[in-house]
Chain A
Amino acid sequence: MDAHQDRSLTAPSPPGAQSASPLISLDRMSKRFAGTPAVDDVSLDIARGEFFCLVGASGSGKTTLLRLIAGLEQPDAGRILIDGEDITGRPAYRRPVNMMFQSYALFPHLSVERNVAFGLEEEHRPKAEIRERVRAALDLFDMAGLAARKPHQLSGGQRQRVALARALVKEPKILLLDEPLAALDKKLRERAQSELVALRARVGITFVMVTHDQEEAMRMASRIALMRDGKIVQIGSPSDLYDTPRSRFAADFFGAANLFEGRVTAISETEASVESTEAGATLRARSASSLTIGMPVAVMIRPEQVRVSRETQQADNALRGQIRGLVFLGSTVLCHVGLDGGKIIVVRLSPTEYASAGAPADGESVYLSWPASSARVLTE
C-alpha cells in the first residue's frame, strides 16, 4: 500500500443506483470443477453504470464468476439475469456482454482492423456501418494509424487498446475485464487505470473487472466484491471495505492492518471492550455487529491511525512498546513497534508526525495511542 491508496479515481456510485432494477443479477450461482467448488452459491446485483470489481487471491473464483457472466462457463446451479432477462444456459455468442481477456486473445492471423471488425461481422452488419464503427473505435484509442498491422507487430500497450476496442465496438450492455492491466508494466498500468475509468464514464457501459490487485480495485471501482474460496466475503465501496471490514481476511486484504485477538468484556451501543493478551490491555473499538460477552474477536487498527509519542497520552487505547525498526519511504515513515508481550505493531507516520513525536530512534521506548472510533471489532 502506498500513499495513493485512498485517492480513488471514480466518483462513488450514484445514490439510488442500488434501488433501481439491477443490470446484472446473479441468483445463487454455483460452479464446480472436478468436484471442487470454484463458485459457491453466489448472489450478486450489479447496477447500471457501475465500475464493479471482483477481487481475491488466485483460486478464489473471481475469474470463474466473470466467465459465468460471459457464458464461457455454464453454472451447475443458480440463475443469471441481465436487464431482467434470464439468460442462464444461453451460449456466449448470444449474450449482450463482451469480454476483454487477460491475454487480450487477439486473432494473430487478422489485422488490427479485422480484429475489431470481427464482432460486427458476426452480427452481419452492413459493410459501410462496420467500416464506420471500426474507424470510430480505433480513433477512440488513437489506433487509426495501426489499422493494417498484425497483433504481433504491436507493443503490449497497443495490444491492450486493440482488445478494448474490439470488445467495445459492439456496444455491449456490460464489458467484462479479466485482469486487463496485468500484462502492462507498472508505469503504463497506472496510466491505463485512469484511462479505463475515464473511458467507462465516457461510453456509459457497465464495467465488471477482475483483479488480484486490491490497490487497483480500490482506485478504479465504484463497488468491490471480495472473494474467497468461491464465496463473496464482503461487498462495498472501496472506503467501506477499508474502513469497516467485517472479517480479519478483509481487513488484511485491503491494506495493512494490526490485529489483536481477544475476548469481549463489555458492550455499549457503538463500542465494545476487548481484553487482549496480545496487546496486554483491554482495547476499546467501534463495533457494528451484535456481540456477546466472552465472544472471541479481533480488534483492527490501521497503521496510519496510530499515534506515537514519548510520553503517556490520554486516549481510549494506549500501549507501551519499543521501536524495533524504522523504514523511511519519503512521504511516510514506517515504524515497527514491539509491544512488551512481543507482538509487533506497524505504524505509519508522515514525516511531520514523526518529527513531532520527537523522532524516536531504533530501540527507544514509545507510547502508542488511538481513539476507539478508529479501531474496529472483527468477528469473522
Chain B
Amino acid sequence: MPLLYVPIAILILYSFNDSQLVSVWSHFSTRWYGELFKNAQMREAAWLSFSIATISATASTVLGTAAAFALRSMRPSPGRSLFEGLLMVPLILPEVLTGLAMLLLFVFLGEAIGWPRTRGTATIAIAHITFGMAYAAVLIRARLSQQDPVLEEAAADLGATPWRIFWRVSLPLLAPALIAAWLLAFTLSLDDVVISSFVTGPGASTLPIVVLSSVRLGVSPQINALASLLVLFVAVLMIAATLVLRSSSRQKHG
C-alpha cells in the first residue's frame, strides 16, 4: 500500500525543487509556488473550477436527497428497481461515454431549442451534477436506510405535518451524510477532466484541463506545486467527510 503513495510523495518533494527541469534536483525553494500564484491563467482556472464544484456539489446534494427520499417512499416494484438502476448508471458508465453523451445532448439541444448556444461553465456544471448526484444519492440512501422511521412517526404523533417532519427531523438527522455527500461531489467535480473536456467550450478551462494542456507543452515545475496544493486540499476534504460521518455515528450509538 505505501508504494501507492510514493509517486505523490515524489511529486510533492519536487514541487520544492528550484530547478527549471522537473526531474533534476537542485536545491530547496518555494519559487514555483510563487510563480504559480502569479500565473493569471491558473488563477482563473482555479476560480472556475471551485465555482463549478460548489454549484455542482450543492445541486448534487439536493437532487441526491430528493432521489433518496423518493426511493425510500416507493414500495418494492419493477419501477423502483428501474429507477434505482438508472440512478447508478453514471457510476458505472465509462467517463468517456458519459462525456460524449452529454456533448451530443448539448449539441442537439443547442440546435433544437437554442440553448446552450455555447458550451462552458453551465454545461460543465450540468455534466458534473449528473454524476455527482449519483454518488450523493448512494451515500444519502445508505444513511437514510439506517435511520429509524419511528422518529418520523413520533414527530407526526406530536403534530408535525410531513413537510415539518422533513425539516425538523429527517433532514437534521441526515446532516452528516449531507455534508459528506457535498464534500464528495465537490471533490469529484474538482478532479474531473474527461467529462469536462467533452462539454467545455471556448474560455471555460477548468484547472485539470489547464494542467493537462500545459503538460502537453512540457511539464513546468509550477504544475508540481499546483498538484501538491490540490492533493492537500482534496485530502483535507476527504478527511473532513470521514470525520463528520464517524463522529455522528458515535453519537448515535453512544
Contact surface of A with B, Cβ cutoff 8 Å: 70-72, 91-94, 97-99, 101, 103, 105-109, 118-119, 122-123, 150, 152, 166-167, 170
Contacts and interface: CB of A to CB of B under 8 A. Distances in A.
Given A122-B160, A123-B159, A108 B252 contact: yes
B148 A105 contact: yes
A324 B83 CA distance: 66
Interface residues of B, number: 21
A92 B150 contact: no
B251 A93 contact: no
Nearest to B159: A122
Contacts of A118: 155, 158, 160, 168
B156 A119 contact: no
Nearest to B173: A109
A128 B164 CA distance: 22
Nearest to B252: A108
A107 B251 contact: no
B78 interface: no
Nearest to B168: A118
B151 interface: yes
Contact of A91 (B156, B168, B251): B156
Interface in B153-188: 153-161, 164, 168-169, 172-173, 175
A41 B217 CA distance: 81
B154 A93 contact: no
20 contacts: A71-B156, A72-B153, A72-B157, A93-B156, A93-B158, A98-B157, A101-B153, A103-B148, A107-B151, A107-B154, A108-B173, A109-B172, A118-B155, A118-B168, A119-B158, A119-B159, A150-B251, A152-B252, A166-B158, A167-B158
Given A91-B156, A107-B151, 18 more contacts: A72-B156, A92-B157, A93-B156, A94-B159, A97-B157, A101-B154, A103-B148, A105-B151, A105-B153, A106-B154, A108-B251, A108-B252, A118-B158, A118-B168, A119-B159, A122-B160, A150-B251, A170-B158
Contact of A98 (B150, B158, B164): B158
A99 B157 contact: yes
Contacts of B153: 72, 92, 101, 105
Contacts of A106: 154
Interface in B130-165: 148, 150-151, 153-161, 164
Name the 4 nearest CB pairs between A and B, nearest first.
A119-B158, A105-B154, A122-B159, A92-B156
Interface string B219-254: 000000000000000000000000000000001101
Contacts of B251: 108, 150, 152
B144 to A, nearest CB: 15
Contacts of B155: 107, 118
Contacts of B168: 118
Contacts of A98: 157-158
A152 B249 CA distance: 12
Given A103-B148, A152-B251, A152-B254, A122 B158 contact: yes
Given A105-B151, A108-B251, A170 B169 contact: no
Contacts of B164: 122
Given A108-B173, A108-B251, A108-B252, A103 B157 contact: no
Contacts of B161: 93
Nearest to A103: B150
Contacts of A97: 157
A105 B148 CA distance: 9
A122 B153 CA distance: 14
Given A107-B169, A108-B251, A93 B150 contact: no
Interface in B45-91: none
A172 to B, nearest CB: 9
A72 B173 CA distance: 21
A53 to B, nearest CB: 20
A333 to B, nearest CB: 45
Nearest to B175: A109
Nearest to B160: A122
